[in-house]
């Protein structure tokens, strides 16, 4: 795959992933934690707010790995 096209596809995937992940995390948090304490809600949203970094990093790694030619 051409590196510039790989970066374009990766960027689109990253944006779509972040938006979908945020919506799903909010719905799960809202539906399951309505009667939970503030500490539990804070902990859930803190963890959910950091977990997206792992798959986003994998997408960025995939975008970058195709752009280098071995010499």
- Dihedral sign computed on CA atoms, order 39, 44, 49, 53: positive
Residue 71 lies in a domain: no
> Does some domain include residue 50?
yes
Tell me how many domains the chain contains.
1
pLDDT confidence of residue 2: 76
Residue 58 lies in a domain: yes
Q: What is the distance between the alpha carbons of residues 19 and 54, in angstroms, rounded to a whole number?
A: 15
Answer yes or no: is pLDDT of 67 > 70. Answer: no
pLDDT value for 66: 66
Residue 21, domain extent:
3-65
Q: Full-prediction pTM beyond 0.85?
A: no
What pLDDT, on a 0 to 100 scale, did the predictor assign at position 18? Answer: 96
């Amino acid at each position: 795959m051409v590196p510039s096209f790989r970066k374009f596809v990766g960027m689109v995937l990253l944006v779509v992933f972040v938006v979908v992940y945020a919506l799903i995390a909010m719905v799960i948090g809202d539906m399951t934690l309505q009667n939970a304490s503030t500490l539990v809600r804070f902990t859930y949203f803190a963890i959910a707010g950091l977990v997206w970094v792992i798959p986003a990093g994998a997408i960025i790694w995939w975008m970058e790995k195709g752009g280098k030619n071995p010499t």
